[in-house]
Amino acid sequence: MSGFPDHEVISALISGRYADPFSLLGMHNTAEGLVVRALLPDASAVTLIDAKNGRKVTDLICVDQRGFFSAVVGRRKKPFLYQLAVTWHEQTYVIEDPYRFGPLLQDVDSWLLAEGTHLRPYERLGAHPEMLDGIAGIRFAVWAPNAQRVSVVGEFNFWDGRRHPMRQRRENGIWELFLPAVTTGQLYKYEIIDCHGDTRLKADPYAFEAQMRPETASLTRGIPAIVEPDAERSHANALDKPISIYEVHLGSWRRHADNNYWLSYQELADQLIGYVQHMGFTHIELLPINEHPFDGSWGYQPLGIYAPTRRFGTPEDFRALIQAAHRAGINVLLDWVPGHFPSDEFGLAKFDGSSLYEYADPREGLHQDWNTLIYNYGRNEVRNYLAGNALFWLERYGIDGLRVDAVASMIYRDYSRPAGEWIPNHYGGNENLEAIAFLRYTNHTVGTQRDGSVTIAEESTSFSGVTSPPENGGLGFHYKWNMGWMNDTLKYMQLDPVHRRYHHNQMTFSMVYAYSENFVLPLSHDEVVHGKHSILGRMPGDDWQKFANLRAYYGFMWGHPGKKLLFMGNEFAQRREWDHDRSLDWHLLDDAAGPHSGVQRLVRDLNACYRQYAPLYQQDCSYNGFEWLVADDSENSVFAFLRRDNDGNEIMVVSNFTPVPRPGYRIGIPHSGRWREILNTDSSYYNGSNTGNGGEIHSQPHPSHQREHSVQLTLPPLATLFLVREG
């Protein structure tokens, strides 16, 4: 190409129809000699400067009034480092030319990104501070294989897509550009002329920070530093450790009383972490804090999955919150949503004009329940985008584990779809084989790259092997929410006690499959929204009975095999449904002698007891850790079982789910011994009637329940007892 391209070529460049701006702009050897070309809209003059000595080399000629400049450097034959002195509105600025820098993406990265096996795609894609040839700037890269042109636009170039079109790497569809002098903290987007010729303005899928809604731009920011794994925190995630999770929505846990505004990450670090530590929870689970456009989605429709939401502060502030939890000995779990995303125009939908991140056919790509789009797990780059994000939160923020949302909606093609409105897989089945492969790959990656981190599946079906290793045909999760236990037991507890005798199996059925997976018992946010009432609101009877039922239920839950999860507000028996726009009703605790304070004290003591006594957790996933003592007394709605640790130490758990005290209730036990009541949900300390078995209880050589020895207990009304064997 000559030093002065024709009008059609310049018009194609400016309009975004020129395929390779780097072949035209910058410094090039031509038949006429060394040529420098620049596209600088609104500039009145441009001078070429030798970067080594700062001397003027030549003036560039304005070839096109729309801002295209060019010059032949007659006395130079070899390319050299240069700068441009550009005059805009009578002010002259010396700038670095982005089009003098070579390709940015290394061959190995290019290969791995296209193959979908790059463990850390976020290190190459997105916006990264960089030094090239001693020049500071930001390196941008975005995947948009079907775009006609992609430009970086931002406050540094007047949001003008003509100024900085990017280089396309045709081997993988990635567009890249290094922009000198751009600094961290500046707003930017990608202006895309898509495959249909339409112009789209998109936020960066890999942005590490985003604007506060309703604004939608990305911010340039360095990648967070790696947080090294901690052995103690890793051990706290293990199957044989006590795991009691406090699930929290940061925007509504507590708000400022004067203006109902959110607490900041810093205020949450000061208030929330101390509260969780005081209550004895071992883990805190954060509802999605990934950047999301709509408050009412609670974070479950994220569009900036690499950016902590700005609602509560900066990424550094969020990192400080995590560090505060770790200093308090609390592990942090993050709700993670790789199943769907909203269709907002600035986001991933039709990113380059094609269905790039989502399935094209709405029978595969549209979530009818949530009116969101489903990721196309069959694309290497999409799987890489998501799997890399999982590792990102673990490595770069020190998150200790991920709770993966709506797994059932991912692995079944007919999830919530009537016949004829879904597409079978290539075997004719209803499983989404690509999503299953993605989950296995992600869990394998987490397991091999971040030792001690865990993934937890919210999976509501009987899909086999959710917590089995991928090499054994499983999905590779460490834990699974036990939705069956939650549904069955809540249905039972909602019944008037007089009817519970007819539904006894709802409390025992979970033990039929208790060891098929590694379970977490969840009473989550899903159980206190959409007209379901609060957990307290589901309990039958008068107010005293409601609280007694709830305390007995919590005791049964903490005694039952499986890790524990309680949504915020449940720990003090919030009366109303959760509202994401309001604080929890902390005023209910103003009366220290009231029933809400009693439930709060109970949950704290349950956590303390749970952490202190290994039989309650050590063999959660083993048949050896559990034995029914009374499983068939439906007439009295009584349940009794033993929990054991590795050394044979035992705790007896007994629940009476009727409002009738039962003195002299005999329970057969495997061997003689002395027992001590260590927790009674009917204690007056918890606002109960204070019926129980204070002190020691000795076994008797009195056969009962097909056993030679037994104990005789007083069972309080609507209560659960914990008794530890001491001899």
Give catalytic residues, as residue numbers.
Answer: 405, 458
SS3 at position 191: strand
Q: Which among 309, 209, 227, 222 is positioned nearest to 268, based on CA atoms? A: 309
- Six-digit token string for 215: 């604004």
Contact 488, 509 (CB under 8 A): yes
Cβ neighbours of 61 (radius 10 Å) = 13
Sign of CA dihedral 460, 465, 467, 471: negative
- Residue 9 token pair: 């070529």
For Cα atoms 294, 343, 365, give the angle at the middle one, nearest 5 degrees.
Answer: 130
For residue 289, give the amino acid letter. Answer: I
The strand pairing partners of 626, in sequence order, are 643
Sheet with 626-633, side-by-side order of all strands: 626-633, 638-644, 650-656, 719-725, 674-680, 696-698
CA dihedral 712, 714, 720, 721 (to 10 degrees): -60
Task: Say if CB 669 and CB 535 are below 8 A apart.
Answer: no
Nearest residue to 523 via CA among 560, 567, 487, 562: 567
User: Is it true that the peptide bond before 214 is cis, omega within 30 degrees of 0?
Assistant: yes
By three-state DSSP, how is residue 407 classified? helix
Question: Among 390, 411, 391, 425, which Cα is nearest to 475's?
Answer: 411
522 sits in which H/E element: strand 519-523
Concatenating the DSSP letter of every residue in 421-459 gives: SS---TTS-SB-HHHHHHHHHHHHHHHHHSTT-EEEE--
Sign of the CA dihedral 130, 132, 135, 141? negative
Buried (b) or exposed (e) across 600-637, using 16+ Cβ within 10 A? bbbbebbbebbbebbbbbbbbbeeebbbebbbebbebb
Could you say which DSSP state residue 562 is in? S
Distance of CA 261 to the CA centre of its chain: 23
Cα torsion 28, 31, 33, 35 to 10°: value is -40
Spatial CA neighbour of 212 closest among 282, 264, 134? 264
User: What is Dmax (Cα atoms) for the chain?
Assistant: 111
CA-wise closest residue to 619 among 646, 637, 589, 588: 646
Give yes or no for a contact between 203 and 189, defined as CB atoms under 8 angstroms apart: yes
Exposure of 43 in the CB half-sphere (CA atoms within 13 A): 28
Residue 106's contacts (CB-CB under 8 Å, 6 or more residues apart) are none
Which two tokens mark 388? 């890399």
